[in-house]
């Protein structure tokens, strides 16, 4: 990202800020979708994150941390989405969501697996989901996540551990339920 875009956006240049949106928008949306599991809410979270960035950009101290800061704003916007949205969420994901991005090797993840994962993930808190997404999707280490989100490293490790455990437990429980139904 060219430094002059950040400088100009900081001074209030809307065109330069739009360049930032175009540069970072896809990445932020990808993360928001994976946390919220809903395209519309992810779009809302991204919009709110960029609006907050526009308001606060002047105060960003280190331009090299722009992306990390945007992720912080985004994750906070996702938390707000979760808090403010009370509408019922279906337990199963929409098939159309799968159509709009790459799909991993089917040999590893079957449709049933995906359903289990979706159900298990939706049961996690937004805080746990965020840490899992930053780690497993963006590839951030625990310390990097702590830095981005302003958490203690121990808190991040704890959330990662419990998030994984809950996912594993939920998947295994689903597996057992399916197996027992199949045997009945």
Partner 1 sequence: MTRSIDIDQVLDDWLAEGPRQLPDRVVDSITADIGHAAPTRRWRLPWRNHVYRNYFALAGAAVIVFVAAGLAVSLLANLPGIAGPSPKPAPTPTASPTGSASPSFVPTATPLSEEFRVTALLNGFLQARIAGEGAEAYLEGAEYSNHFPPLLYQTTSGARYDRAEFEPVSGIEWPYERDAYKVRLFAGDTVVEQLMFWGADYPLKLIYTDFGYGTEIAPTTENGQPVASTYKYLGGQVTLRAAHPWVMSNSDGNGFGRLTPEGPGVAPTTDGGQRTEWDELFIMGDPEHVPFDEGCLSGTTAVDATSLADSIRSDPSLETTAPAAVTVGGANGVMMNVRRFSGASLCASVNEDGSFTDHWPVLYPIFSQASERNEFNGHYSYQSTGEWMKLYLLDAPEGASLQVLAIAIAAPRTTFDRAVEAAAPVLDSIEFHLP
For partner 1, the closer of residues 87 and 95 by Cβ is 95
Q: How far is the CB of 154 from partner 1 (least distance, A)?
A: 13
Q: Give the residue among 69, 91, 71 at the shortest CA–CA distance from 30.
A: 71
CA distance 50 to 57: 10
Tell me how crowded residue 138 is: count the other CB atoms within 10 A of its CB: 15
Q: Is 97 exposed, middle or buried (0-12, 13-18, 19+ CB in 10 A)?
A: middle
Q: How far is the CB of 90 from partner 1 (least distance, A)?
A: 16
For partner 1, the closer of residues 143 and 176 by Cβ is 176
For partner 1, the closer of residues 87 and 105 by Cβ is 105
Q: How far is the CB of 72 from partner 1 (least distance, A)?
A: 7
For partner 1, the closer of residues 87 and 99 by Cβ is 99
Q: At what angle do helices 66-84 and 39-56 cross, to 10 degrees?
A: 130
Q: How far is the CB of 92 from partner 1 (least distance, A)?
A: 15
Q: Give the residue among 161, 165, 88 at the shortest CA–CA distance from 120.
A: 165
Q: How far is the CB of 116 from partner 1 (least distance, A)?
A: 10
For partner 1, the closer of residues 88 and 111 by Cβ is 111
CA distance 127 to 138: 16
């Amino acid at each position: 990202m060219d430094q002059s875009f950040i400088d100009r956006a900081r001074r209030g240049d809307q065109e330069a800020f739009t360049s930032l949106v175009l540069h970072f928008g896809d990445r932020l949306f990808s993360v928001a979708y994976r946390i919220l599991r809903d395209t519309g809410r992810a779009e809302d979270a991204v919009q709110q994150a960029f609006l907050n960035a526009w308001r606060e950009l002047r105060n960003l101290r280190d331009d090299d941390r722009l992306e990390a800061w945007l992720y912080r704003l985004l994750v906070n916007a996702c938390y707000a989405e979760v808090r403010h949205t009370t509408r019922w969420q279906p337990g199963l994901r929409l098939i159309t969501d799968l159509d709009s991005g790459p799909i991993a090797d089917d040999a590893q993840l079957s449709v049933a697996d995906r359903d289990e994962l979706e159900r298990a993930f939706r049961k996690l808190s937004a805080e746990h989901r965020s840490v899992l997404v930053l780690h497993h999707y963006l590839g951030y280490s625990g310390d990097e996540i702590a830095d981005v989100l302003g958490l203690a490293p121990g808190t991040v490790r704890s959330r990662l551990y419990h998030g994984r455990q809950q996912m594993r437990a939920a998947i295994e429980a689903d597996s057992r339920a399916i197996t027992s139904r199949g045997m009945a």
